[in-house]
């Protein structure tokens, strides 16, 4: 056998495997899980807490790897995702699948051994929910995909809380509810200026399936429900005055941006273009010409990330301040 | 039959092997730490229970 006849062996780099873990999503998971763990207020060994957070982060990464393994072909069709390792052909989907399964088993097992099996069970449930329920079953079937699937991203603070106490009381589920209700306005704001991509990939995101006008209205409705829930920890004793100020002022800004988006023409197709996905794909370039009008959507998308981080940061700061005072 | 690797394939394989080794070592260290911490907390718990029992019998 000559060198030229040699079977094609992989040139996949370790960085490609790291990219499978969706590092940016992982950082948000670490932050929210750590908040749940700290706010629970249990007396937990810092090393146990650090290993628990690592397990939750790796578990979330494993879910991301499974998602990319199952979505390689779809990812290749969208500008936002076409550079991912499987979509770009740098990594075989079977390798990504194996990597995701192995990491899932390792992270859930280690979390169970390290803390308790309630937390481990919730982590396992989150991985299955995201990889199977959301990716395989929901994403392509209903425009409500992001609403129901958003639960997967909302679990980390509950897992963190359960890791610290072995329980998941209503306060932990309130944190869950904040992320759950935050997801639709956040994701649909992004979808409003990526409509062409989703249509091309055949994913029935709300703007593709119901149109931009309906999406803008639903963003406003969800925002009206989300903001009071975001303020609720400040009124129930979970958060203090700092949290109340951050959630209240940020909430008002969130609502103002959602209102501006509702009044805008973000995501509207240029004149002369019909509503079907095929037409959208055919006139993709023209669709992106409305980007200046999509600015309110981008503003809400960007601010939503900042607002969520600020809410959890306020909870953390107040809890650490109370530790310091004690 | 020998398999020839291009320099790129060889380098990629070596790097993957290194990271697999590091990952396994890391996992073993975490299992060791977890076991150690568990034993420590179980011992402390047992001591506290023994102290409570001794207090009750006194």
Q: CB pairs under 8 A, 24+ apart, for B5-8?
A: B5/A6, B5/A9, B6/A3, B6/A6, B8/A11
What does the pLDDT read at residue A326? 63
DSSP summary character for residue A123: H
Instruction: Judge whether B4 and A6 are in contact, CB under 8 Å.
Output: yes
CB spacing of B4 vs A11 below 8 angstroms: no
Short-list A321, A181, A295, A175, CA closest to A241: A321
Short-list A219, A178, A187, CA closest to A312: A178
Closest-approach residue (CA) in chain A for B8: A11
What does the pLDDT read at residue A9? 65
Which stretches does DSSP call E strand in chain A?
none
Q: Who among B12, B18, B33 is closest to A10 (CB)?
A: B12
Short-list A184, A186, A209, CA closest to A199: A209
Question: A290 pLDDT exceeds 70?
Answer: no
Question: A287 pLDDT exceeds 70?
Answer: no
User: Which residue in the block uniquely carries the two structure tokens 């200046």?
Assistant: A292
What residues of B are in contact with residue A17 (Cβ under 8 Å)?
16, 19
What does the pLDDT read at residue A210? 86
> Alpha-carbon distance B25 to A269, whole Å?
54
> Alpha-carbon distance A303 to A299, whole Å?
6
Residue-wise DSSP of A237-260: TSS-HHHHHHHHHHHHHHHHHHHH
What does the pLDDT read at residue A265? 83
> Alpha-carbon distance A273 to A270, whole Å?
6
What residues of B are in contact with residue A47 (Cβ under 8 Å)?
33, 37
The tokens for A310 are 């600020």
- Burial-class residue A109 by CB neighbours within 10 Å (0-12, 13-18, 19+): middle
Residue A112 to residues A37, A166, B33, Cα–Cα distance (Å): 15, 11, 14
Supply the angle between the helices A170-192 and A23-39 in degrees, to the nearest 10. Answer: 160
Q: What is the pLDDT of residues A45-71, one digit of tens each?
A: 999 999 999 999 999 999 999 999 999
User: Which residue in the block uniquely carries the two structure tokens 């009206």?
Assistant: A224
What does the pLDDT read at residue B49? 93
What residues of A are in contact with residue B33 (Cβ under 8 Å)?
47, 51
More confident position, A282 or A116: A116
Report the topology of domain A10-168. Answer: Tetracycline Repressor; domain 2 (1.10.357)
Domain ranges of chain A: 10-168, 170-326
Q: What's the predicted TM-score (pTM) here? A: 0.87
DSSP summary character for residue A132: I
Question: A1 pLDDT exceeds 50?
Answer: no
ipTM of the assembly? 0.83
Q: What is the pLDDT of residues A117-159, one digit of tens each?
A: 999 999 999 999 999 988 888 888 888 888 888 899 999 999 9
Instruction: Judge whether A149 and A138 are in contact, CB under 8 Å.
Output: yes
The percentage of residues in chain A with a pLDDT greater than 90, rounded to a whole number, is 63
What does the pLDDT read at residue A278? 43
């Amino acid at each position: 056998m000559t060198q030229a006849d040699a079977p094609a062996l992989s040139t996949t780099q370790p960085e490609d495997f790291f990219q499978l873990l969706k590092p940016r999503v992982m950082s948000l998971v670490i932050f929210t899980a750590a908040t749940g763990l700290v706010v629970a207020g249990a007396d937990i060994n810092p090393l146990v807490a650090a290993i628990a957070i690592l397990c939750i982060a790796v578990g979330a990464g494993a879910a991301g790897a499974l998602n990319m393994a199952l979505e390689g072909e779809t990812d290749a069709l969208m500008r936002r995702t076409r550079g991912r390792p499987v979509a770009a052909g740098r990594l075989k989907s079977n390798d990504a699948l194996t990597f995701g399964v192995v990491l899932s088993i390792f992270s859930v097992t280690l979390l169970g051994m390290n803390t308790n099996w309630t937390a481990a069970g919730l982590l396992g449930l989150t991985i299955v929910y995201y990889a199977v329920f959301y990716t395989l079953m929901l994403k392509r079937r209903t425009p409500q995909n992001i609403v129901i699937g958003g639960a997967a991203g909302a679990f980390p603070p509950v897992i963190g809380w359960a890791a610290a106490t072995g329980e998941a009381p209503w306060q932990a589920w309130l944190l869950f509810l904040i992320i759950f209700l935050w997801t639709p306005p956040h994701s649909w704001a992004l979808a409003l200026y990526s409509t062409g991509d989703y249509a091309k990939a055949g994913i029935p995101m709300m703007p593709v399936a119901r149109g931009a006008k309906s999406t803008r209205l639903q963003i406003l409705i969800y925002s009206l429900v989300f903001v009071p829930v975001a303020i609720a920890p400040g009124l129930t004793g979970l958060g203090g005055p700092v949290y109340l100020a951050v959630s209240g002022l940020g909430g008002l800004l969130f609502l103002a941006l959602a209102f501006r988006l509702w009044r805008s023409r973000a995501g509207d197709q240029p004149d002369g273009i019909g509503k079907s996905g095929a037409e959208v794909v055919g006139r993709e370039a023209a669709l992106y010409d409305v980007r200046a009008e999509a600015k309110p959507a981008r503003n809400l998308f960007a601010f939503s990330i900042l607002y969520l981080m600020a809410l959890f940061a306020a909870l953390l700061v107040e809890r650490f301040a109370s530790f310091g005072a004690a | 039959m020998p398999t020839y690797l291009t320099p790129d394939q060889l380098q990629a394989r070596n790097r993957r092997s290194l990271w697999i080794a590091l990952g396994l070592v890391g996992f073993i260290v975490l299992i060791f730490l977890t076991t150690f911490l568990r034993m420590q907390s179980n011992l402390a718990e047992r001591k506290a229970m023994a102290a409570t029992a001794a207090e009750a019998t006194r």
